Amino acid sequence: MPVNSPPLLPEQLLPINGITLGIAEAGIKKPDHKDLLVVVLNDGAKVAGIFTQNRFCAAPVVLAKEHLAQQSIRALVVNTGNANAGTGEAGLAHARTTCHTLAELLGYETQQVLPFSTGVIMESLPIDAIVKGLPKAVADLKADNWFNAAHAILTTDIVPKAASKQIQLNGQTITITGIAKGSGMIRPNMATMLGYVATDAVISQPLLQEIVKYAADHSFNRITVDGDTSTNDAFMLLATGRAGHVEITSQGSTEFAQLQQAITEVSAELAKMIVRDGEGATKFITVQVDDGGNSKECDKVAYAIAHSPLVKTAFFASDPNLGRILAAIGYAGIDDLNVNEVQLYLGDVLVAENGGAAPSYREEDGQRVMNQSDITVRVVLNRGTATTTVWTCDFSYDYVKINSDYRS
Amino acid sequence: MPVNSPPLLPEQLLPINGITLGIAEAGIKKPDHKDLLVVVLNDGAKVAGIFTQNRFCAAPVVLAKEHLAQQSIRALVVNTGNANAGTGEAGLAHARTTCHTLAELLGYETQQVLPFSTGVIMESLPIDAIVKGLPKAVADLKADNWFNAAHAILTTDIVPKAASKQIQLNGQTITITGIAKGSGMIRPNMATMLGYVATDAVISQPLLQEIVKYAADHSFNRITVDGDTSTNDAFMLLATGRAGHVEITSQGSTEFAQLQQAITEVSAELAKMIVRDGEGATKFITVQVDDGGNSKECDKVAYAIAHSPLVKTAFFASDPNLGRILAAIGYAGIDDLNVNEVQLYLGDVLVAENGGAAPSYREEDGQRVMNQSDITVRVVLNRGTATTTVWTCDFSYDYVKINSDYRS
């Protein structure tokens, strides 16, 4: 089960003025399974997004980028059960048919629809099932449907991931609601698989694009489960502009900073939910690297620790075999690292300094922290003032089980 | 059990004129366990070596580099059960005491001894046990002891790794014998943990150093089990100069090329044995990348595939979920990769081309290859003429089990 994840309640999710959502069981991979989501936006809504860096990016990613460049987006469509990735020209045609069908149903143009898919790679998208399912999803459209939407985009996820937040901006209440899915094939650039955050804030598209990048860099791009970057990752930020405040047009304004901060907080909450529900996860690990020469070298150390199968299996076993963390720091790729200046903390316990175990370190102190399910690893490099934080999980039998059984 | 590894027989290993080996049970970690190896070299033997790139390199690695720089090496000492890594100044003192004790027993200088350790990181080396064990190992010294030596250096390995080969050089028979250990924390630069290859060839030290680098780059540096680089990796090449041929002094000579080729073959054989005995391995995977723009981009693709936990668990499950390999190719970091030109083969089966599944591909063909225990994945990039080969294994429940239980 997910690590320290309280159950999500429908009433925690606030509607966003201007947005309706509809779901359906299209039978894409399994029967009796919600696998299709349609999101409809008001006229004038702004959309910004970032996508996977994977060169084998999925057909819907190719098309979504193309459509997004033309703006005036009015709908999103998401299917699970099939990634429509590694599917060549036929995959592109299927993604286009999906957009076209939904556009006809809603009375929009094909390029006003953004398509998203997640699931198995290199299998043909069952387009007939999607075409048949779309009218059912459209018939289900309503504003108060975020809870069901959070369920409809899941694949190997055990729990839905969603969060809402309200802030005051110039005396107006702004609402932000987001959903995400992802559990395996999770690694930075992008790490989310799929994430959708919506707000009723009034903001221009270029500024919204700034926020989506900043929020991703401080949320979905800071998590890793297994180091595999998906072919389908996408993180979309939707702004309906219905909140009634004066439009945010300057990146230097207080309002911009407040909105960016709030959206980043919702995004980080969703990102951490993904890690807590990481495939087979039994521990939630925060890796914090302090006092580095620059943020790049802090990242190298943090990800070397977060990706090490040996470190991750030691966490699974609650075994304070902490030399494995030193080894990961050592091969992280900082060529001039002086290991005698590095300090390693596990929770509040100083584990290593001066190139070896700290004189004060006792195995029972390490064991006490290792027995917890939320653990912070802190590395102090003592080379500067840069800092970084990465979230990850342990590596268990169930990770192997889930990924061996995935298609069966 | 190791993948397709025929049992090693004592008579397969040929002695090297000038070298004697002795082993002992020193009780470093477990009782009744061969955990100490001493190798003694003739006067005038040449030694070359390469070591881990890990910044947290172990105390014995620091000392071995220091002693090797002074040459006239007469003995090597290897202990298992403790890596003497992440042990600070005390660890260095322990490694020095080990060398000093052996040097006294043999009548050499401390700096004529090279120390090596492998085992748990960040625990104090039980120096008393080693000091007490060394006379027993010295009493055991004999030329015909390679088989026992191959056993004495193992940790989580299931089977010993050793190989011999003879070639004719200018009418003289040259013998090469090598041993290695390693099963987890295996990744290029270095990947071996410990490897020792000896020959009676007559060759200068600078040329021997050229060969050790070349051989490593074509053997131990081409394997990966889990992507973790050890703190203690070392690969040593010993040449006793007793074969009676004219000394090899030119890198351009036929004799140099022949010797380098033979030593590389023995090293590659040892390296592949390490992968076949990779922690929890049930499959031996050869990843071949052809027609790349340069060897660096071929390496990127090969290691992306070889390190992907999703690809490795699919191999464990014998599941032809081959889209995961496309995803790994896509995130390997070739920014201008045109995925429509990439071809993917599994064994002799063309799986993907033109950005998707090949029209001729049938799941049962993929399944047939997946059911084998020795599998070749071949990626054709169609961007140039460079090529690379990497050897790896799958990722199983037992990898998690072995590394969760390692210290218990």
Looking at chain A, the whole-number percentage of residues with pLDDT higher than 70 is: 98
Residue B2 lies in a domain: no
**What end-to-end distance do the CA atoms of chain B give, in Å?**
21
Confidence class for position B103, pLDDT limits 50, 70, 90: very high
Burial zone of A348 (CB within 10 Å; 0-12 exposed, 13-18 middle, 19+ buried): exposed
Query: What CATH number does the domain containing A293 carry?
Result: 3.10.20.340
B41 and B186, same domain (yes or no): yes
B182 and B310, same domain (yes or no): no
Name chain B contacts of A57, Cβ cutoff 8 Å: 330
**Catalytic residue from among A101, A177, A192, A199:** A192
pLDDT at residue B259 above 90? yes
A206 and A339, same domain (yes or no): no
Confidence class for position B389, pLDDT limits 50, 70, 90: very high
Do residues A201 and A239 make contact, with C-beta atoms less than 8 angstroms apart?
yes
Residue B3 lies in a domain: no
Looking at chain B, the whole-number percentage of residues with pLDDT higher than 90 is: 69
What pLDDT score does A189 carry? 56
Residue-wise pLDDT for A369-386, tens only, equals 999 999 999 999 999 999
A192 has catalytic annotation: yes
Q: Of A257, A276, A295, which residue constitutes the final position of a domain? A: A276
Confidence class for position B187, pLDDT limits 50, 70, 90: low
Number of domains in chain B: 2
Q: Of A276, A311, A342, which residue constitutes the final position of a domain? A: A276
| A143 token code pair | 């504003």
Average pLDDT over residues B383-399: 92
Residue A3 lies in a domain: no
What pLDDT score does B146 carry? 95
B56, B354, B405 member nearest A339 (Cβ): B56
Q: Of B244, B276, B308, which residue constitutes the final position of a domain? A: B276
What pLDDT score does A407 carry? 62
B243 and B297, same domain (yes or no): no
pLDDT at residue B189 above 90? no
A109 and A223, same domain (yes or no): yes
Confidence class for position A55, pLDDT limits 50, 70, 90: confident
Residue-wise pLDDT for B307-355, tens only, equals 988 899 999 999 998 988 998 999 898 989 999 999 999 999 999 999 9
pLDDT at residue B408 above 70? no
Name chain A contacts of B55, Cβ cutoff 8 Å: 329-332, 334-335, 337, 339
What pLDDT score does B3 carry? 87
Residue A97 lies in a domain: yes
Looking at chain B, the whole-number percentage of residues with pLDDT higher than 70 is: 98
- Inter-chain contact A330–B54, Cβ cutoff 8 Å? yes
B154 and B101, same domain (yes or no): yes
Residue with tokens 């075409």: A131
B264 and B164, same domain (yes or no): yes
Residue-wise pLDDT for A132-170, tens only, equals 999 999 999 999 999 999 999 988 888 899 999 999 988
What pLDDT score does A39 carry? 96
Confidence class for position B122, pLDDT limits 50, 70, 90: confident
Average pLDDT over residues A308-327: 91
B184 and B316, same domain (yes or no): no
Whole-angstrom Cα distance, residue A129 to residue A332?
Answer: 47
Residue A1 lies in a domain: no
Average pLDDT over residues A9-26: 95
B237 and B193, same domain (yes or no): yes
Confidence class for position A228, pLDDT limits 50, 70, 90: confident
Specify the higher pLDDT residue, A124 or B53: A124
Q: Which residue of A has its CA nearest to B90?
A: A356
Residue A2 lies in a domain: no
pLDDT at residue B369 above 70? yes
Mean per-residue pLDDT over chain A, rounded: 91
B293 and B271, same domain (yes or no): no
Specify the higher pLDDT residue, A155 or B103: B103
Name chain A contacts of B122, Cβ cutoff 8 Å: 322-323, 326, 352, 356-357
Global pTM reads 0.83
Confidence class for position B157, pLDDT limits 50, 70, 90: confident
pLDDT at residue B233 above 70? yes
What pLDDT score does A41 carry? 94
Specify the higher pLDDT residue, A2 or A186: A2
B392 and B288, same domain (yes or no): yes
Residue span of the structural domain in which A395 resides: 284-405
Residue A169 lies in a domain: yes
B26 and B112, same domain (yes or no): yes
Complex ipTM: 0.80
Residue A172 lies in a domain: yes
What pLDDT score does A98 carry? 98
Do residues B379 and B290 make contact, with C-beta atoms less than 8 angstroms apart?
yes
Q: Which residue of A has its CA nearest to B405?
A: A317
What pLDDT score does B182 carry? 84
Whole-angstrom Cα distance, residue A215 to residue A212?
Answer: 5
What pLDDT score does B53 carry? 81
Query: What CATH number does the domain containing B160 carry?
Result: 3.60.70.12
What pLDDT score does A170 carry? 83
